[in-house]
Structure 1
Amino acid sequence: MTAAPERTDRHTDGDVLEDVLEVAREQVLERGEGLTEEQVLRVLQLPDERVSDLLALAHEVRMRWCGPEVEVEGIVSLKTGGCPEDCHFCSQSGQFPSPVRSAWLDVPGLVRAARQTAETGATEFCIVAAVRGPDARLLSQVREGIAAIRADGNDIQIACSLGMLTQAQVDELVEMGVHRYNHNLETARSHFPQVVTTHSWEERWDTLRMVRDAGMEVCCGGIIGMGETLEQRAEFAVQLASLSPDEVPMNFLIPNPGTPYENYPVVEGPDALRAVGAFRLALPRTILRFAGGRELTFGDLGAKQGMLGGINAIIVGNYLTNLGRPAAQDLEMLDDLKMPIKALSQTL
């Protein structure tokens, strides 16, 4: 009997390469070393018929290096809309004619949102504000809100996403007991100037460095589908890996009305799944969280494929200005997939 031919990849110039998933099996699954930028690009270029192989390997990597548990998080917007920055994907920018208007959530509303989040079984509650960076009023309200959440008997872990920080603000958040700080790099460094012009990628990086050095966990991800090339998606994955984040939220562009990206196409399901698998192979030990846009991009079936393709965390309920799925539906999905939810006691 003739042996089956060894599976290989090919560059467009005809050079034969060793199969990238076989390389990943030894490099990532066995040794826990993330893929290089060139290797991530080859994963992103895999044909549709190999996506199931990619997702199966990514799931093995997740189980090997992260375990079976899924971290569940809820988010709430403390300050919505009116942001001075021009992030082209964001309906909260005051520079675009989106329907979102500026609004503040009061402290009792924050306490209710935290209580409702904890009741879903979530271990993380993230307080978000649409600002360039926090002023004294905002930090005071965050401090008051955290104190009120604790006074309510809620011991859920509290994260914040308040834009770019100074060292003094980082220190203040640590003193408040903030567990994790989210500040997304959004996209590859080479693509960032096409997405945002009012601040730089480097300014975001500096905030993340200070957060890491202060001992808070780092949550940093971005959005797939903002006109970046596959090469830039690979660049982004490896730049994130170099930061060694504790968590990477994977968002998929929602073409929000009134933003410069309102007519951008939704990311196709196979491309989104390739991105999920590729990011897992680039970040084998990191919490990889399904975030905004997954409902639009994947639907129910695709979401399950993603959860079985390397994702090990999920945001439940609504997002900042977009509706998500009811939390009960996501919790039912996790139950169907026999994926245990990380217990709060294990995060404290």
Structure 2
Amino acid sequence: MTYAPTRTDILDLARDQVLRRGVGFDRDRTLEVLRLPDERLEELLGVAHEVRMAWCGPEVEVEGIVSLKTGGCPEDCHFCSQSGLFASPVRAARLDIPSLVEAAKQTAKTGATEFCIVAAVRGPDERLMAQVAAGVAAIRDEVDIQVACSLGMLTQEQVDQLAAMGVHRYNHNLETARSHFPNVVTTHTWEERFETLRMVREAGMEVCCGGILGMGETLEQRAEFAADLASVEPDEVPLNFLDPRPGTPFAELEVLPVTDALKAIAAFRLALPRTILRFAGGREITLGDLGARKGILGGINAVIVGNYLTTLGRRAETDLDLLVDLRMPIKALGESI
């Protein structure tokens, strides 16, 4: 009688391949992780935390964000209340430079090392680029903090301009798996977003690229998304969870179950062992306080503190107190994770 060899358990494989050797899981392995039964969640989170500690260390990067231009966006991202195509309560508004500098100062007071200027646009026009240039210069003159930007899709000239301004990191999310993207956005393509990321990387800026989980994607597409992100080789991946916004096409979608969200956090850590994995929007409604603690002990090593663009976040002090309680030091300016 012959016996088939016993298949290696996926978490044993994670301990060997990802924890010991630092090689991230591919799409198929990530899918196995996402399919683990709930009773193995704590074990999974433990392995993901070990990976984070081994390849990123205990430091947590803290970031604040502010919207320079809110609302009135011409794109139809189905999750976003800033689209001018939907009947949402968000109205168009712009922030002046003194207010931008004050927001950066308040962010720096929390211990944050990163401040991101965001605009709800398809891509920046000359007026917006001039505002960003003035804002970056004013912040650099008055605040000891790194400046990031998220301004939509860019031309090569705009990429070069941002690099010359001293922008440290550029955020442009792929949002979801390539195969699911047409169900989320129809006014531009996944490939257009990817091209902006390519130019940003080649210009020497750090790449911040993540997305939103819980937008109707399958587990297979969630694993595909992790592999898509790995192909970009991002310095940072912000993980958002859908907070269904009134007036948007996704307003009636259900919030992602907490076990699914935690499995996704751990799975993305196993796919991206050396990457800054940041808690971003929707974690409050999806995970709550206990889930946030589990996420930080399950692969997360960065947080956005304070409010998001159109939704309220946790108080900065709440997150900072949690990090103290978990004995996780905040990354200092100039350190790398």
TM-score normalised according to structure 2 size = 0.97
SS at match of 1:144: helix
Alignment of 1:143-162 (within 5 A): 143-152=133-142, 154-162=143-151
The residue number in structure 2 matching 1:122 is 112
Instruction: Using the TM superposition, give the Cα deviation of residue 18 of structure 1 relative to its aligned residue in structure 2, in angstroms.
Output: 2.2
* Deviation for aligned residue 1:346: 2.2
Shift of 1:344: 1.1
Corresponding residue to 1:132 among 105, 122, 147: 122
Aligned partner of 2:35 in structure 1 is: 45
Q: Hey, what does 2:246 align to over in structure 1?
A: 257
Report the count of equivalent residues: 333
In the alignment, which residue of structure 2 is the partner of 1:104?
94
Question: In structure 2, what residue type is equivalent to 1:212?
Answer: R
- Cα distance in 2, alignment partners of residues 346 and 246 from structure 1: 14
Q: Give the one of 184, 191, 199 matched to 2:188.
A: 199
Deviation at 1:339, TM superposition (A): 0.4
Match of 2:307 among 318, 321, 341: 318
Residue of structure 2 equivalent to 1:9: none
Q: 1:78-129 deviations in whole A, cap 9, x for unaligned?
A: 0000000000000000000000000000001100100000000000000000
In structure 2, distance between residues paired with 1:338 and 1:155: 25
Deviations 1:9-62 (A, max 9, x none): xxxxxx974210111110000111000111100100000000101100000000
Separation (CA, whole Å) in 1 of partners of 2:6 and 2:86: 48
Gaps of 5+ in 2: none
How many percent identity over aligned positions?
Answer: 73
Q: In structure 1, what is the equivalent of residue 223 of structure 2? A: 234
1:165 counterpart letter in structure 2: L
The CA deviation at 1:150 is 2.2
Shift of the alpha carbon at 1:148?
Answer: 1.3
1:327 corresponds to which residue? 316
Residue in 2 that maps onto 1:89: 79
Structure 2 letter corresponding to 1:34: G
Amino acid at match of 2:132: V
Once the two structures are TM-superposed, the CA of residue 211 in structure 1 deviates from its matched residue by: 0.2
- 2:265 and 2:309 mapped to 1: Cα distance? 22
2:165 corresponds in structure 1 to: 176
Instruction: Give the Cα separation in 1 of the matches to 2:157 and 2:211.
Output: 26
Unaligned runs of 5+ in 1: 1-14
Cα separation, 2, equivalents of 1:38 and 1:346: 34
Query: Who is 1:244 aligned against?
Result: 233
Question: Which residue identity is paired with 1:67?
Answer: G
Q: Structure 2 CA distance, aligned partners of 1:72 and 1:25? A: 28
The answer on 1:185 being equivalent to 2:174 is yes
Offset at residue 345 of structure 1 (A): 3.5
Aligned amino acid, residue 203 of structure 2: A
CA distance, structure 2, for counterparts of residue 150 and residue 204 of structure 1: 28
Q: Which residue of 2 aligns with 1:21?
A: 11
Inter-partner Cα distance in structure 2 for 1:151 and 1:29: 42
- 3-state DSSP class of the match of 2:65? strand
What residue is the counterpart of 1:80 in the other structure? 70
* Matched residue type, 2:308: Y
Match of residue 270 from structure 1: 259
Q: Which of 304, 317, 341 pairs up with 2:330?
A: 341
Query: Residues of 1 paired with 2:167 and 2:141: CA distance?
Result: 16
Distance 1:327 1:159 in 2: 19
Q: TM-score, normalising length from structure 1?
A: 0.94
**2:288 matched to 1:299?**
yes
- AA partner of residue 167 (structure 1): Q
Look up the equivalent residue of 2:292 and give its one-letter code.
A
Partner SS, residue 344 of structure 1? coil
| Deviation at residue 149 of structure 1 after TM alignment | 1.3
Question: Does 1:208 pair with 2:208?
Answer: no
SS of equivalent residue, structure 1 residue 272: helix
Deviation track 1:192-244 (CA, whole Å, cap 9, x = no partner) reads 00000000000000000000000000000000000000000000001101111
Measured in 2, the distance between the counterparts of 1:241 and 1:275 equals: 15
- Whole-angstrom distance in 1 between the partners of 2:318 and 2:221: 34
**Residue aligning to 2:44:** 54
Code of the residue aligned with 1:23 in structure 2: it is L
Q: Distance in 2 between matches of 1:17 and 1:185?
A: 34
**Equivalent of residue 57 in structure 2, options 51, 60, 67:** 67
Provide the C-alpha distance between the structure 2 equivalents of 1:17 and 1:202, rounded to a whole number of angstroms: 37
Structure 1 CA distance for aligned equivalents of residues 164 and 235 of structure 2: 20
